[in-house]
Chains A and B, each alone.
Chain A
Amino acid sequence: MAEKIFSAKCGREVRAGEIVVARVDLAFAQDGTGPLAIRQIEKLGLRGVARPDATLFFFDHASPSPRKELSDDHVFMRTFSKNTGAGVSEVGAGICHQLVAERHAAPGMLIVGGDSHTCTAGAFGAFATGVGSTDVAVAMALGQTWFRVPESFSVELTGRFEKGVFAKDLILHLIGDIGAAGATYQALEFSGDLEALDMESRLTVSNMAVEAGAKAGLFPADEITLAYLEDRGRSGEKLGPDPGASYQRSLEYDLGRIEPTVSKPHSVDNTALARDLSDVKVDQVFIGTCTNGRIGDLQIAADMLAGKKIENGVRLLVGPASRETYLEAERHGLLRIFVEAGGLVLPPGCGPCVGVHQGALGSGEVALATQNRNFKGRMGNPEGFIYLASPATATATALTGRITDPRKVTT
């Protein structure tokens, strides 16, 4: 599929390993990478961007800003956007990857973002990849950039998840199997019986492709994709790999055999089963982020929490991924359930996942989060310990104070 998308963009057949210059359909940066990208555009001697309508700046990493230095970065980005006509997604709108999913992504698009989790939009059959500030600056300024067409790594899925098991468990399990560098430089491509994975589940899986080193995490665009787009007044066409497409490596998974899975500190590929970690006490549970802060994720948590209280001594933070998610959660009464259960609701944004604000860990503290990374220092303290899991496992853990297999909690 990667070769197919690049061939369409280049107007000729291209093959894995080739270096090509291709026009990008969307280039974006967030408030951590945007200021440097803008300075690089200025260093290029350019004052504008090639296509303002295909250039976006998001405020999500420090949102709202906790410090004057970051407020100044925000001012810098707003001023540049105003002067160039580039789009701005303000504080409170949500996380860049969720907003790209809600508003922009479509099958066959070529998207670069100054954020490693740009691969999230691969769920739509878009070739979306994370790049640094200089790369995104070049893409914004010139409307095109260079790529090495990646080899593809096939992951074929069959079966259905058991109750209490979700897409997050699948992707953690896969990364545990192949390792944090298991797909470096490659495009992970998911295929098989994909009816079990709705768009939100696919976004969770694609989001974490980079945690296996992959350049992209691609799903074919099928009826489920088109229905999601139609719901939001957008359209697209089906897109899948050609019959007989070749892959550098292929794996198969039966979803029915996946169990609730957890990544242990301090690497994503350090996985274990939730049921084997019941002696791990947890201080903070965070449900949110571009990985698992969507409405389906919050619904799972609310269904498990309704009428209950979280364990004494545990802090529960819930962060809707976008304003749309926040409003929908409010309409369905989910926010009230979180607060009544003893949790707190954060504004839409990256929250504590990047260690900037809103829930930094104390030294020696343990967090279980639905985010995508648990590197040392990730949540603001190198003396903290981070476990990663699904929203269901996170909620079960908030209820008991110890890492808990969600299948043990009745709803």
Chain B
Amino acid sequence: MNLLVGKTWVFGDDISTDHIAPGRHFHLRSNLPELRKHVLEDAREDFAKNVKPGDFVVAGKNFGLGSSREHAPAIIKLAGVSAVLAQSFARIFFRNAVNIGLPVILVNTSGINDGDELEVNLEKGILKNRTSGKEASFPPLSKEMMGILKDGGLVEHIKKHGEITL
């Protein structure tokens, strides 16, 4: 998972978990493949249908605010998104994403345009925009969080180590 390459889908500030996994599809929470068909539906209608494996979700401030529904990062991951890049994240979404093995990257996203091709090195904290030629750095996730991500999420991490290891 070290080098991620894909095209971007750009979103604005304050994308809530209601945008990502709307409450009117609540009955699909135990059927994630169906719920995934509505991922980010209330922010961009074209996303769920056209997102390709490896693509990036790129957003502004406070991505994922609102409810604790883990289904939100889960269906973003299920859609094949390789990472979410944002200026800032809401606390619960950030932790949920790591817990289910979806990389979240805190980085200045202001110069990134929709459809740009990005190359992300998670461990080194380097973001290359192949379309614009610009390069940026970001603080890599902590050792503990990278450990959880690499194992594929907290459940797999605990199974591997037999307990919560930090």
Contacts and interface: CB of A to CB of B under 8 A. Distances in A.
Residue picked from B24, B61, B144, B153, most chain A C-beta under 10 Å: B24
A282 interface: no
A69 B28 contact: yes
A43 B42 contact: no
B116 interface: no
Interface stretch (A49-57, A100-108, A139-147, A291-299): A139-147
A133 B70 contact: yes
Given A67-B27, A132-B92, A376-B16, A382 B159 contact: no
Interface in B134-166: 144, 153-155, 158-159, 163-164, 166
Interface in A373-397: 373, 375-382
B24 A181 contact: no
Interface in B65-120: 65-71, 74, 88, 90-92, 95-96, 99-100
Please tell me the size bucket of the interface on B.
35 or more
B123 interface: no
Contact of A132 (B26, B70, B159, B164): B70
B41 to A, nearest CB: 8
A130 B68 contact: yes
B23 interface: yes
Nearest to A35: B30
B30 to A, nearest CB: 5
A375 B16 CA distance: 7
Please tell me the size bucket of the interface on A.
35 or more
B23 A378 contact: yes
B55 interface: no
B13 to A, nearest CB: 9
Contacts of B163: 142
A343 interface: no
Contacts of A76: 30
Interface string A70-105: 101100100000000000000000000000000000
7 contacts: A33-B68, A61-B26, A133-B70, A134-B99, A213-B65, A356-B27, A360-B24
